[in-house]
Structure 1
Amino acid sequence: MAIRPTNKLAAVLGAVCVFATACGGSAVSDSPGASGGGSGLTEGCPDNGTTGLTDTTIKIGLSQPLSGPYVSVGGQLYGMQAYFAYVNAQGGVQGPDGKKRKVELIYKDDAYTATKAKANVEQLLGDDKVFALLGQFGTAGNLAARPVIAQQCVPSLFATTGAPELSNPKYPWAMTGSINYAVEGRILGQYVRDNLPDATVAVLEQDDDLGRAYRQGFDQAIEGSAVKVVDTRTFEAGEPDVKNQITTLAATKADVFLDIASGLTGLQALNHVHASEWKPEIVQVGQLPVTLLRQLQSGAGDGLVIGATGPDYADPEVAKADKEYQLFLEWFGKVPGTAKVDPTSASLGWFQGRLLDWTIQHAATMDRGGVMTSARSLDYTGPSFSLPGIRLRTTPEDPQLIEGMQLNRFDAARGRLVPFGDVIDIDGQVEYQPVS
């Protein structure tokens, strides 16, 4: 039986790119509020849903880490600033009422703290009077702020987290913009089941909702097969080293190492595995973009399997051939303070801006209810950073935007992801399930 030490929340991290979105956190107990019940989305809402709008402007809010140990995810903000500068130069976002509105982006630093994220959202809604939130970062922060969002009927669009709980139908005013962690876990589990049908698996797992969601999807995929998880070790936020966990897992001599860790902790785990005599097949959750994988010790992580929803823009040839990415780079370079910002991280913010633009253009009415309804009935076919074959679609019953990915192997010598097999898209096949 797997052993789970009683550790607490482990932090998410790393540079965030469109194919590797992080953000773990513990679940926060809340209630649906007025917007969660009734037959209509806007039933019980406190106003007419036009707060933050004028005939010429629209206010959008964002809370994310801009300081502290997770400051590297701040690139997302610069990507948003780049997109809104681009669209504002064309007069603004076109609404269903025929008016173009320039976007005013108001952002606040939450240092990746759930209580601060909630306080920021309260200020963005109460003091700054934003129309909607975009790209809210982190599971814990999103769940902490969700009661406020629900009570005030404010769209929280394309959050930077793949937490399944953000697809809970009781809370229709919030939705994710990243691949669902349970969906990704299921795809990785299916890979192991299909290619290593008798494998033993040792797992390093973040002891939070992110880790549990990945694990739940993985376990569902291997259920009924001969694949067996022989040991699980968890780690908590701020833990200085996971060497002891890796030493314990290595002693199992399992065939597969499933690394449900992100950022520097994920890199640390892979380095420890490489330094040991344990030579498992490594399956890595998509919390380590290639820009981070390149920081591994020489030879570490070579050949590991990792999923991606977008191209490897760290490859100059891939980036050069993509017109949308080149447009992004052009406007990204005009944003002050981007000299030391990783563009692959910032590209996520650009794409979130694109999605918001599309959602508003396709809304039936120019108010919060109309925009949220549009976001929950999306069939996006505009420019994107997603791989061909991954459908960007939502429905009221399935508000998960991304449910597909491409598997890759990491070529350590070249610092590149090498795709293999076909793009796997299971859009509409995974219903919302609470993470247990």
Structure 2
Amino acid sequence: GASDTEIKIGNIMPYSGPASAYGVIGKTEEAYFKKINAEGGINGRKINFISYDDGYSPPKTVEQARKLVESDEVLFVFNPLGTPPNSAIQKYLNTKKVPQLFVATGATKWNDPKDFPWTMGWQPNYQSESRIYAKYILKEHPNAKIAVLYQNDDYGKDYLKGLKDGLGAKAASMIVIEESFEVTQPTVDSAVVKMKSLNADVFFNVTTPKFAAQTIKKMNEIGWKPVHFLNNVSASIGSVMKPAGFENAQGIISSNYLKDTSDPQWKDDAGMKAFDEFLTKYFPEGNRIDGSVMYGYTVAQGIVHVLKACGDNLTRENVMKQAANIKGLELGGLLPGIKVNTSPTDFAPISQLQLMKFKGEKWDLFGDVISGDVGG
């Protein structure tokens, strides 16, 4: 995967299928590596980024992972997207001792260095995010009747578990409905109607962008106005809020660890200026207000940091070693106060978030940066 002139990085993304809104992450990473190569590469080596489409279908993910490892012979698999797809390749990559690095999913199980020493997460995990919402609900809406809509897989169940753990003994009485859906369904409209009929006044929306936009539209259509919590993976203005209609999205609460590109407070921020220069020069077709673009940009910076730290020792073991020894790394796209930290016993690089509320055409941050640490 590495020679004196190049570093081969493998990647798997849903460029097609139900989660295709996330495909732009792979495109952003490709553009960022072009920038790195144009500037001379990493320690003199150019990045050869090989990215395949799995359509968010786990059997296809397995096929693409094998191709990357066995025929492309990549050094590691970087930022493959989705909980079900990553679950399908985790054992294979660990058996082969190929790093499955900075996976693009916040499932809690990626932080398990004891059983899966070759797999590491990136973004704050779903359970800690849910616990942060639970803390807020208990404080601000202690008598809430909560409806939960979640995708019926590890991703959805992780969020649900975090919410229940965070609510503690009150979970059983506060949650009035847990409605799951399959990612293959065309819509979740009937679930929204059902939840409204139970008079729930707090709604926890655990969906990916397509279903998130649908839900927001449907709620407006039927006049259901609970306090609405939307998981961070669908907080994108470009792929969720705008398509759902800004007027329908007012007051939604979510959380973030990345700067929101549409927020004027970052106008003179050095990190945002660097991001804009990158877009102008290397990714002009990128949609600036799609949160996935900032996500791809930031995680690509994270892997460049790891590769630089490897020096000339580009073995798979050393890649994992450097990834597991990141201390207080600040990246331009992260919110102030949020840093990347890992250790040999902690494979959760980012574990802090800040709450935010949708107002007008942008997210307004509020409260402090909160840590929702959950053990692996």
Give TM-score, length-normalised by structure 2. Answer: 0.92
Q: How does 1:398-409 map to 2 (within 5 A)?
A: 398-409=346-357
Matched residue, 1:308:
256
My pick for the range that moved more, 289-298 or 390-399, is 289-298
My pick for the range that moved more, 346-355 or 121-130, is 346-355
Contact 1:78/1:335 (CA < 8 Å) preserved in 2? no
Tell me the SS of whatever aligns to 2:102: strand
Q: 1:220 aligns with which of 157, 162, 165?
A: 165
2:352 partner amino acid: G
Matched residue, 1:75:
24
1:340 CA displacement? 6.5
2:17 partner amino acid: G
Q: How does 1:53-132 map to 2 (within 5 A)?
A: 53-94=2-43, 100-132=44-76
CA distance in 1, matches of 2:200, 2:329: 43
Tell me the SS of whatever aligns to 1:306: strand
Q: Structure 1 residues 339, 424: closer, same or farther in 2, change over 3 A? A: closer
Contact 2:356/2:363 (CA < 8 Å) preserved in 1? yes
1:182 CA displacement? 0.8
Matched residue, 1:47:
none
1:129 CA displacement? 1.0
The number of residue pairs the alignment matches comes to 371
Matched residue, 2:118:
173
Matched residue, 1:367:
315
Contact 1:118/1:144 (CA < 8 Å) preserved in 2? yes
Tell me the SS of whatever aligns to 1:122: helix
Q: 2:335 aligns with which of 378, 383, 387?
A: 387
CA distance in 2, matches of 1:343, 1:221: 30
Contact 1:61/1:132 (CA < 8 Å) preserved in 2? yes
Contact 1:284/1:304 (CA < 8 Å) preserved in 2? yes
Contact 1:310/1:385 (CA < 8 Å) preserved in 2? yes
1:114 partner amino acid: P
Q: How does 1:13-24 map to 2 (within 5 A)?
A: none
2:159 partner amino acid: Y
CA distance in 1, matches of 2:252, 2:343: 34
Matched residue, 1:151:
95
Deviations 1:301-323 (CA, angstroms, capped at 9, x unpaired): 311111111121033x3554233
Contact 2:123/2:350 (CA < 8 Å) preserved in 1? yes
1:349 aligns with 2:349: no
Tell me the SS of whatever aligns to 1:420: strand
Q: Structure 1 residues 277, 53: closer, same or farther in 2, change over 3 A? A: closer
1:182 partner amino acid: Q
- The answer for unaligned runs of 5 or more in structure 1 is 1-51, 95-99
2:249 partner amino acid: G
1:410 partner amino acid: F
1:380 CA displacement? 4.3
Tell me the SS of whatever aligns to 2:244: coil
Q: Structure 1 residues 306, 321: closer, same or farther in 2, change over 3 A? A: same
Q: How does 1:47-58 map to 2 (within 5 A)?
A: 52-58=1-7
Matched residue, 2:178:
232
- The answer for unaligned runs of 5 or more in structure 2 is none
CA distance in 2, matches of 1:305, 1:70: 22
Contact 1:137/1:160 (CA < 8 Å) preserved in 2? yes
CA distance in 2, matches of 1:258, 1:241: 17
1:147 CA displacement? 2.1
Tell me the SS of whatever aligns to 2:194: helix
Contact 2:310/2:318 (CA < 8 Å) preserved in 1? yes
1:137 CA displacement? 0.9
Q: Structure 1 residues 306, 61: closer, same or farther in 2, change over 3 A? A: same
1:265 aligns with 2:265: no
Q: How does 1:324-339 map to 2 (within 5 A)?
A: 324-335=271-282, 338=285
1:275 CA displacement? 2.6
1:108 CA displacement? 1.2
1:367 partner amino acid: T
Matched residue, 1:27:
none
1:231 CA displacement? 1.3
1:189 partner amino acid: A
Deviations 1:352-376 (CA, angstroms, capped at 9, x unpaired): 2211121123348431111101112
Contact 2:246/2:361 (CA < 8 Å) preserved in 1? no
Q: Structure 1 residues 251, 340: closer, same or farther in 2, change over 3 A? A: closer
Q: Compare the two structures and name the one with the higher helix fraction.
A: 2
2:215 partner amino acid: A
Q: CA RMSD in A?
A: 2.1
CA distance in 1, matches of 2:57, 2:241: 26
Using CA pairs under 8 Å that are at least 6 residues apart, name the structure with larger relative contact order, 1 or 2.
Answer: 1
Deviations 1:213-265 (CA, angstroms, capped at 9, x unpaired): 00100101111348611112111122222222112211221221111122121
Deviations 1:246-302 (CA, angstroms, capped at 9, x unpaired): 122112212211111221211222222223343311111113212221222463231
Q: Structure 1 residues 86, 241: closer, same or farther in 2, change over 3 A? A: closer
Identity value in percent? 29
Tell me the SS of whatever aligns to 2:90: helix
